[in-house]
Chains A and B, each alone.
Chain A
Amino acid sequence: MASVSMTVNGKQVSATVDPRTLLAQFLREHLHLTGTHVGCDTSQCGACVVHVNGRAVKSCTTLAVSCDGASVTTIEGIGTADNLHPMQTAFRENHGLQCGFCTPGMIMSAIDIVNRKGNKLDEHTIREELEGNICRCTGYHNIVKAVAQGAAAMK
């Protein structure tokens, strides 16, 4: 067993875990933060994207122990019920989700795109940058619109 400590959504957490525990498992099973989803376990689909020290990371292939001392933000940590993150609002307003399973990872990736590329994103850039997130429901049409609106609103 290995001990691990990190800050998750602003709260300090510590646990003793099997060393092979993945960050996604740690969040879902130890902290019960089930908004982070596992869609493929090979870093392909992006349903598991969280932010580690401010950067988008696929938590299904990240060992929890490798995040010792890190600051982790999940979908549960970006907004409150009364004050949603602009990217959350944009996904709803643009019908950027259907079954909702890929949505947390999409939103976390979208915020990361804005952090890296700025607030003014054209369709081509958004589509290229969403390469690491798979959605099976929406055909991406409305996700692209949502990311553009959310990016502008993050100014």
Chain B
Amino acid sequence: MSAKTGVGAPVLRKEDFRFITGKGQYTDDINRQDQAHAYFLRSPHAHATIKKLDISAAKSAQGVLGVLTGDDLAADKIGGLICGWMIHNKDGSPMKAGAHPALAQGKVRYVGDHVAVVIADTYAQAKDAAEKIVVDYQVLPAVVDMNKAKSSAAIHDVAPDNVVYDWHLGDKAATDAAFSKAKHVTKIDLVNNRLIPNAMEPRAAIGDFDAGTGVYTLYTTSQNPHVARLVLSAFVGIAPEHKLRVIAPDVGGGFGSKIFIYAEETVCVWASKKIGRPVKWTADRTEAFLSDAHGRDHISHAELALDDKGKILGLRVQTKANLGAYLSTFSSCVPTYLYAPLLSGQYDIPAIYAEVEGIYTTTAPVDAYRGAGRPEATFLIERIIEKAARETGTDPATFRRKNFIKSFPHQTPVIMAYDTGNYTASLDLALEMADYKNFAKRKKDSAKNGKLRGIGFSAYIEACGIAPSAAVGSLGAGVGLWESAEIRVNPVGTVEVLTGSHSHGQGHETTFAQLVADRLGIDIDSVAVVHGDTDKVQFGMGTYGSRSGAVGMSAIVKAVDKVIAKGKKVAAYALEAAEKDIQFKDGRFSVAGTDKSLAFGEVALQAYIAHKFNGQDLEPGLKEGAFYDPTNFTFPSGVHICEVEIDPDTGTTDIVKWTAVDDFGNVINPMIVEGQVHGGIAQGVGQALLEGAHYNADGQLVTASYMDYTMPRADDLPSFDIGMTNTPCTTNPLGIKGCGEAGAIAAPPAVINAITDAVGHEDVPMPATPYAVWQACQKGARKLAAE
């Protein structure tokens, strides 16, 4: 085992070769013999009943093999798409979940909703034929504004006031009591802007029914192929699990949007049997904008109670969360259990009370997007903390330091028990790296050039390593959130690691191999990682919520430990020693106190040839599996500091310095971890400065292409200064906390705190476009002139 490839080394990625040479295999790169192509006719209206749907002309168009509608789904008894997390209202009653058919059944509820599918020999023929479908819509009022939704037209009969749930968390009486003692109360109103995930690979699917075996295969852009198979089998009813194989090959980014089970994938796999040919669909970018699950979209009011020394006494929060037209797979838990339990942030807050209303609107479904609830919580707590520091005339770093949690474990008033952390250490390092002590001088220098300089902090926490199954089950989750792994050792000593995690950019083929090679003392090139195929990997819960390290790799080490234990038994026979005397170190099994030893590969061979032991005493072979169920969430944390320079004449914001100090616990591959931080910050800066999904009053998505929705580009971003601290997680065997979402969680409040600091005005929306910042400059001008 070389130190260059061991745990903690910045090993270059094993998977890169195929990507840099154009040999990756993404879903759209796969073609099945005789495949047909699907085109989805989508609703042009936000809200309408379908009075008549005439598909006759389309059915007879050139190349068309079939036109399928919601009636065909109903005739085949195909179930609707589900939401897998039950949320209960304040009064204990269940949330109101309207039906979600994969193809519309009498009503459409957002622009882009699926009306019918045309399947033809070529995509162009299917698209042409769709124009021949005649739909007679009776248009109903669009419901776009969450504040008016309760008095608008009902989107689902089950929810006449368009409220999905009215939920709360925390102790209201204790929080009210804390506020009654407050010497100062800081109040803030915030909008967390709606985002569209925009993985660069659009969603795609190929359904392929084998009439000979009765087995369906679905190739799809999924972060969790086993969960897709489970839902399509148990709830949608396509086929039982042993007759449905789901393959998620190379996947070009997910960020949450490829967790969910969507209409198009469902229809492709179902239709492949009806049409009798494989059915392929690949989204174009506008379809991705219209129908991928969106993220964020909260309106919140929050109040923070302080005593006369600036210590926090309590926090209360009211949030309206837009859930869109249908409840997507995990949507209901995002603004509830992935949000409110994070409202304590890094702070010792004795009392918290949060109320959340989930609202239906005639917009695309909203679900988990990188961070999922935790960015919304962090934006709220870090904005109100900054505002409180300013209102009380306290340096924002000092204010945070005073209120940090300093002893662990720490039980917050909102479910979470933080196992470990050292928030002061991250803050100190970040202040040093950002050269905070000389900020005032830099601000003066900027002013000489007619520029406004500001600095913004974000001390974030997230709950990752999702999640202890029993705990999430008690909160309404329909699934357990453990992970599985299997280690298959071949007779020559090479190893296949089968994992239920899925890599769509995270580099598991490298980091998982690094871990296993390190533990087994073998060459990293002797380890292959297998994932993304339900026929190969028995089961898995997939990759999201920064869980593949903390949960997925914990399952792997559990299986590795079993391999080593079995290897010791084999070695004992082969070396003619007692099992208790066998030691395993640096890839060799040896007899304690002797020079007798066998290499890992030699023991593997002995396990398979089984010449040295009786098969009744010890089973031949070397293959072990494990399921790992975490005992707690993990709590990565850190401090990001953003420094901006603003041109008050144009409102243009330039990020001049970005400092990120993160505590992810132990790190397997710092190169990959830093890459995750970079990408997360870019998405967070995108939310803060550039991105915003906008529906007009009629419910039309007016930001449905890259010409209208501003993606972060290379010249919008700076290079980042990355630092790390480490308090290893105490609740998993590797001490890993998770790093995938940190940047996206930390970045938005850091940017907005910097801009509000620069312009001297608190009301700066996201995205902080030049126009919005210019307006804030006008409002803040008096204060600035007085400085």
Partner of B200, one of A28, A76, A102: A102
Q: Which residues of B contact A35 (CB under 8 A)?
A: 21-24
**Interface 9-residue window, one of B262-270, B359-367, B633-641, B678-686:** B678-686
Among residues 1 to 43 in chain A, which have CB atoms less than 8 Å away from a CB atom of chain B? Answer: 18, 20, 28-29, 33-42
Q: Which residues of A contact B253 (CB under 8 A)?
A: 98-99, 101, 136-137
Instruction: Point out which of B21, B285, B719 has the most chain A C-beta atoms below 10 A from its C-beta.
Output: B21
B503 shortest CB reach to chain A, Å: 9
Cβ of B705 and Cβ of A40 under 8 Å apart? yes
* Cross-chain pairs A/B with CB under 8 angstroms, 15 sampled: A34-B25, A34-B26, A40-B285, A44-B706, A92-B13, A95-B672, A99-B201, A99-B253, A100-B18, A100-B19, A127-B717, A136-B200, A139-B720, A140-B678, A140-B713
Interface string of A94-115 (1 = CB under 8 A from B): 0101111111100100000000
Partner of A139, one of B678, B706, B715: B678
Cβ of A20 and Cβ of B200 under 8 Å apart? no
B580 shortest CB reach to chain A, Å: 45
B574 shortest CB reach to chain A, Å: 39
Whole-angstrom distance between the alpha carbons of A81 and B20 in the complex? Answer: 10
Interface string of B226-255 (1 = CB under 8 A from A): 000000000000000000000000111101
Q: Quick check: is B707 within 8 A (CB to CB) of the other chain?
A: yes
**Interface 9-residue window, one of B333-341, B414-422, B504-512, B758-766:** B504-512
Whole-angstrom distance between the alpha carbons of A107 and B20 in the complex? Answer: 8
A5 shortest CB reach to chain B, Å: 22
Among residues 672 to 711 in chain B, which have CB atoms less than 8 Å away from a CB atom of chain A? Answer: 672, 674-675, 678-683, 705-707, 711
Q: Which residues of B contact A92 (CB under 8 A)?
A: 12-13, 16-17, 20
Whole-angstrom distance between the alpha carbons of A36 and B124 in the complex? Answer: 20
Whole-angstrom distance between the alpha carbons of A84 and B18 in the complex? Answer: 12
A140-B717 CB under 8 A given contacts A91-B20, A95-B13, A134-B200: yes
B210 shortest CB reach to chain A, Å: 23
Q: Quick check: is A143 within 8 A (CB to CB) of the other chain?
A: yes
Q: Which residues of B contact A102 (CB under 8 A)?
A: 200, 252
Q: Quick check: is A75 within 8 A (CB to CB) of the other chain?
A: yes
Cβ of A98 and Cβ of B679 under 8 Å apart? yes
Cβ of A140 and Cβ of B682 under 8 Å apart? yes
Partner of A88, one of B20, B250, B720: B20
Q: Which residues of A contact B435 (CB under 8 A)?
A: none
Q: Which residues of B contact A84 (CB under 8 A)?
A: 20-21
Partner of B21, one of A29, A76, A99, A144: A76
Partner of B198, one of A36, A74, A99, A136: A136
Interface string of B773-787 (1 = CB under 8 A from A): 000000000000000
Whole-angstrom distance between the alpha carbons of A41 and B28 in the complex? Answer: 14
Q: Quick check: is B199 within 8 A (CB to CB) of the other chain?
A: yes
CB-nearest residue of chain A relative to B711?
A: A134
Q: Quick check: is B542 within 8 A (CB to CB) of the other chain?
A: no
Q: Which residues of B contact A41 (CB under 8 A)?
A: 284-285
Q: Quick check: is A117 within 8 A (CB to CB) of the other chain?
A: no
Whole-angstrom distance between the alpha carbons of A28 and B22 in the complex? Answer: 11
Q: Which residues of B contact A76 (CB under 8 A)?
A: 21-23
Q: Quick check: is A142 within 8 A (CB to CB) of the other chain?
A: yes
Cβ of B21 and Cβ of A88 under 8 Å apart? yes
Whole-angstrom distance between the alpha carbons of A151 and B28 in the complex? Answer: 31
Q: Which residues of A contact B25 (CB under 8 A)?
A: 34
Q: Which residues of A contact B251 (CB under 8 A)?
A: 99
Q: Quick check: is B202 within 8 A (CB to CB) of the other chain?
A: yes
Q: Which residues of B contact A99 (CB under 8 A)?
A: 199-201, 250-253, 504-505
Interface string of B1-44 (1 = CB under 8 A from A): 00000000000110111111111111011010000000000000
CB-nearest residue of chain B relative to A103?
A: B19
Cβ of B706 and Cβ of A45 under 8 Å apart? yes
Instruction: Point out which of B19, B23, B284, B680 has the most chain A C-beta atoms below 10 A from its C-beta.
Output: B19
- In which size bucket is the chain B interface? 35 or more
The 4 closest A-B pairs by CB, nearest first: A35-B22, A100-B19, A101-B252, A139-B682
Q: Quick check: is A126 within 8 A (CB to CB) of the other chain?
A: yes
A26 shortest CB reach to chain B, Å: 13
B676 shortest CB reach to chain A, Å: 8
A150 shortest CB reach to chain B, Å: 11
CB-nearest residue of chain A relative to B684?
A: A139
Q: Quick check: is A66 within 8 A (CB to CB) of the other chain?
A: no
Q: Quick check: is A138 within 8 A (CB to CB) of the other chain?
A: yes
Cβ of A91 and Cβ of B707 under 8 Å apart? no
Q: Which residues of A contact B675 (CB under 8 A)?
A: 95, 98, 137-138, 142
Whole-angstrom distance between the alpha carbons of A100 and B679 in the complex? Answer: 13
Whole-angstrom distance between the alpha carbons of A97 and B671 in the complex? Answer: 12
Given contacts A35-B23, A88-B21, A126-B714, 5 further A-B contacts (CB under 8 A): A38-B28, A93-B12, A99-B200, A104-B22, A135-B714
Partner of A141, one of B124, B705, B720: B720
Q: Which residues of A contact B202 (CB under 8 A)?
A: 38-39
A139-B12 CB under 8 A given contacts A18-B124, A95-B671, A98-B507: no
CB-nearest residue of chain A relative to B747?
A: A139
Q: Quick check: is B743 within 8 A (CB to CB) of the other chain?
A: yes
CB-nearest residue of chain B relative to A102?
A: B200
Q: Which residues of A contact B711 (CB under 8 A)?
A: 45, 134, 136
Cβ of A143 and Cβ of B714 under 8 Å apart? yes
B743 shortest CB reach to chain A, Å: 7
Q: Which residues of B contact A47 (CB under 8 A)?
A: 200
Cβ of A75 and Cβ of B199 under 8 Å apart? no
Whole-angstrom distance between the alpha carbons of A46 and B251 in the complex? Answer: 18
Partner of B22, one of A36, A95, A139: A36
Among residues 182 to 204 in chain B, which have CB atoms less than 8 Å away from a CB atom of chain A? Answer: 198-202
Cβ of B20 and Cβ of A139 under 8 Å apart? no
Q: Which residues of B contact A103 (CB under 8 A)?
A: 19-20
B65 shortest CB reach to chain A, Å: 18
Partner of A42, one of B22, B24, B255, B705: B705
Interface string of B66-89 (1 = CB under 8 A from A): 000000000000000000000000
Cβ of B21 and Cβ of A42 under 8 Å apart? no
Among residues 28 to 80 in chain A, which have CB atoms less than 8 Å away from a CB atom of chain B? Answer: 28-29, 33-42, 44-45, 47, 74-76, 79
A79-B504 CB under 8 A given contacts A95-B13, A95-B671, A99-B201: no
Among residues 262 to 312 in chain B, which have CB atoms less than 8 Å away from a CB atom of chain A? Answer: 284-285
Interface string of B413-445 (1 = CB under 8 A from A): 000000000000000000000000000000000
Q: Which residues of A contact B707 (CB under 8 A)?
A: 42, 44
A131-B713 CB under 8 A given contacts A137-B253, A141-B720: yes
Whole-angstrom distance between the alpha carbons of A31 and B507 in the complex? Answer: 29
Cβ of A139 and Cβ of B681 under 8 Å apart? yes
B519 shortest CB reach to chain A, Å: 24
Partner of A135, one of B15, B28, B200: B200
Whole-angstrom distance between the alpha carbons of A118 and B176 in the complex? Answer: 66
A110 shortest CB reach to chain B, Å: 11
Cβ of A128 and Cβ of B715 under 8 Å apart? yes
CB-nearest residue of chain B relative to A77?
A: B22
CB-nearest residue of chain A relative to B250?
A: A100
Partner of B285, one of A34, A42, A143: A42
Q: Quick check: is A122 within 8 A (CB to CB) of the other chain?
A: no
Whole-angstrom distance between the alpha carbons of A139 and B746 in the complex? Answer: 14
Q: Quick check: is A130 within 8 A (CB to CB) of the other chain?
A: yes
Q: Which residues of A contact B674 (CB under 8 A)?
A: 95
Cβ of A131 and Cβ of B714 under 8 Å apart? yes
Instruction: Point out which of A36, A98, A140 has the most chain B C-beta atoms below 10 A from its C-beta.
Output: A98
Q: Which residues of B contact A88 (CB under 8 A)?
A: 20-21
Cβ of B200 and Cβ of A45 under 8 Å apart? yes
Partner of B16, one of A40, A91, A101: A91
Q: Which residues of A contact B201 (CB under 8 A)?
A: 37, 39, 99, 101
Instruction: Point out which of A36, A79, A103 has the most chain B C-beta atoms below 10 A from its C-beta.
Output: A103
